[in-house]
Structure 1
Amino acid sequence: MTQVLDELVALLSLETIEENLFRGVSQDLGFRQLFGGQVIGQSLSAASQTVEAERQVHSMHGYFLRPGDATLPVVYQVDRVRDGGSFSTRRVLAIQKGRPIFSCSASFQLPEEGFEHQIAMPEVPGPEGLLSEQELSRQNIYLLPEGVRERMDFDMPIEIRPVNPTDALKPEPCEPCKYLWFRADGTLPDNPALHKYLVGYATDFGLLTTSLLPHGASFWQRSMQIASLDHSLWFHRDVRADEWLLYAMDSPWAGNGRGFARGSIFNRAGQLVASVAQEGLIRHRADWA
């Protein structure tokens, strides 16, 4: 693994404080608050560590309650709600400064045979030859906010290559659809749970901002207040986070200061490996301009 990927794996591994109680360090990605993908991935990690390895997470539903502080660790409290014959359910509370910042429920299942069907993978160009988000950002790095500019000078653990990139600094209205390829930048151990933590971490990149595309708005505009409110994630099969995955996103609705987006994640074989949905705050704040 590369050093930055090794650091991300360590970040998602968590420290056991006491039974059902874990602590994770935080990373600063240059956003206004703690990156939501971090608490998603760490919550999945905390819940998974209380379930027998044969039972794999298949769904997670969470709410972002308060902005997190990227300079402080996060404590995760796990409630072992139920262990049935096939399914296990866990509730997780992420805490900073004695107050909850994120809560979620996660469900785990033993492997089982059954009916199978899926939607077709979109026909889009593969990742080969596409520029990464970092490479695209570095073309206009002097225009980026200072905190983000610094991050663009470092390698990232998750490589993201947009299929249909837009100019985040001068956005033009377009259809609310987005496609990007992503993978962990290095080879990971054969630990199925770890690959799911990492995919969970990555699903918060770019999802909510899909709802801004029809409005010619961008995350980097100072007048935009953008924050995830909830996040739902379903895993349909085992996945390797260190192999290219296509993230196909669309936003069917926005209104009342909120945007809704959903995503489908496919592997290179065209198999649907995960589905995602998220609603978030997308306020235009003239007083911030």
Structure 2
Amino acid sequence: MSTSEAFLRAIDLTEVHTAFGGRAFEAQPQPVPWPKAYGGDTVAQSVAAALRTVDDDRALHSVHSTFLRGVDVAEPMHYDVEIIRDGRGFSTRHVRGHQHGRLAFMATASFHVPEAFPQHGPAMPSVPAPESLRSSAEALEGHEGADIDYWSHGRSFDMRHVPGTLYLEVEGERTAHQAVWVRSFERLDDDPRTHQVALAYVCDYTILEPVLRVLGLPWRAEGLVTASLDHAMWFHSPARADQWLLYAQECAGVADGRGLGLGRFYTHDGRLVATVAQEGMIRPGRPL
């Protein structure tokens, strides 16, 4: 049975001694069927580390990340958190992730004391309800492989695609847009920070899929190699990641072996929760 264990293990940080003047943590990347760790794993761990250094009255409102090297799933990541600023309304943290003695990841996270204020956001697209769509496990039923097991139930989140998955083939229209309903397989705790970290964790799984959809490339395309390059995420309002959220996505551009994906998370009733932008390297393995 699918569980949310991988996500919960990923954000199980251990504080360690540091001599550089901030605070430091270690976390274990979660197993994947490929040599390098899932990028959302690293983003979520850095966010969780930064959150450990700010007061409870502040909520994460943005994180900007750069992936410098692939992360080895067999070794812990070390995160140094530099306390840049604590003001009356905002706090800023810089996080540097190290592995094997080399810098692999950097992020800047900003926190804000919430204020009562009007809300506005783009309208949520009209898509079928998640209950009417196939889960990843149902879409991959009858197929075998380590990647199939991982896509089916190893990612802590139930994901349901519109217009269809890209695991084995590009299902549905070859378009620059798609949407994915997501929620954790199990109930998470009631801490709003857990749910922000959960969104940071899950956001990277499918954000490059509109780029692949435009190019006509499924994840199992022979020779395909992708890598996250940089990532930005803005949090607009709180929401539970263990309830259905719509992740509406689009390909914002493809050129020079790189693709830019944009995404927005909405609650089931259409409230904008977060906005994501991510650029990735695309190596198709065949002429396009």
TM-score norm. by structure 2 comes to: 0.92
Counterparts in 2 of 1:24-43, with a 5 A limit? 24-43=27-46
2:281 aligns with 281
Residue 128 of structure 1 aligns to a residue whose secondary structure is: helix
Most deviating of 26-35 and 152-161: 152-161
Residues 174/52 of structure 1: CA separation in 2 closer, same or farther (3 Å cut)? same
1:128 aligns with 131
CA deviation map 1:151-184 (0-9, x unaligned): 3575542111112114533337711111110001
1:164 aligns with 163
Distance between the aligned counterparts of 1:153 and 1:108, measured in 2? 35
Residues 284/3 of structure 1: CA separation in 2 closer, same or farther (3 Å cut)? closer
Distance between the aligned counterparts of 2:70 and 2:115, measured in 1? 38
What is the deviation of 1:132? 1.0
What is the deviation of 1:286? 4.3
Q: Is the counterpart of residue 270 in structure 1 residue 273 in structure 2?
A: no
1:98 aligns with 101
1:250 aligns with 250
Residues 119/152 of structure 1: CA separation in 2 closer, same or farther (3 Å cut)? closer
The answer (yes or no) to whether the contact 2:6–2:30 under 8 Å persists in 1 is no
2:59 aligns with 56
What is the deviation of 1:130? 1.2
Distance between the aligned counterparts of 1:261 and 1:167, measured in 2? 15
Counterparts in 2 of 1:59-208, with a 5 A limit? 59-139=62-142, 141-142=143-144, 146-151=145-150, 154=153, 156-171=155-170, 174-208=174-208
Residues 113/211 of structure 1: CA separation in 2 closer, same or farther (3 Å cut)? same
2:233 aligns with 233
Distance between the aligned counterparts of 1:46 and 1:147, measured in 2? 30
Residues 3/169 of structure 1: CA separation in 2 closer, same or farther (3 Å cut)? closer
Distance between the aligned counterparts of 2:269 and 2:137, measured in 1? 26
- Work out the percentage of aligned pairs sharing the same amino acid: 34
Distance between the aligned counterparts of 1:47 and 1:155, measured in 2? 26
The answer (yes or no) to whether the contact 2:92–2:111 under 8 Å persists in 1 is yes
The answer (yes or no) to whether the contact 1:138–1:152 under 8 Å persists in 2 is no
CA deviation map 1:87-115 (0-9, x unaligned): 00000011110111110100000011234
Residue 79 of structure 1 aligns to a residue whose secondary structure is: strand
Residues 286/270 of structure 1: CA separation in 2 closer, same or farther (3 Å cut)? closer
Distance between the aligned counterparts of 1:271 and 1:190, measured in 2? 19
Q: Is the counterpart of residue 5 in structure 1 residue 4 in structure 2?
A: yes
Q: Cα RMSD (Å) of the superposition? A: 2.0
CA deviation map 1:228-278 (0-9, x unaligned): 101111000111111000000001210011001100100012100000000
Distance between the aligned counterparts of 1:138 and 1:114, measured in 2? 46
Distance between the aligned counterparts of 1:25 and 1:65, measured in 2? 18
Distance between the aligned counterparts of 1:270 and 1:220, measured in 2? 33
Most deviating of 94-103 and 3-12: 3-12
The answer (yes or no) to whether the contact 1:219–1:226 under 8 Å persists in 2 is no
Distance between the aligned counterparts of 1:241 and 1:197, measured in 2? 9
Residue 171 of structure 1 aligns to a residue whose secondary structure is: coil
The one-letter code of the counterpart of 1:219 is: W
> What stretches of structure 1 of length at least 5 have no aligned partner?
none
Paired residue total:
282
Residues 244/170 of structure 1: CA separation in 2 closer, same or farther (3 Å cut)? closer
1:16 aligns with 15
Distance between the aligned counterparts of 2:151 and 2:69, measured in 1? 27
Residue 91 of structure 2 aligns to a residue whose secondary structure is: strand
CA deviation map 1:110-156 (0-9, x unaligned): 011234311111111111121111221234x14xxx43134357554
The one-letter code of the counterpart of 2:82 is: D
The one-letter code of the counterpart of 2:225 is: Q
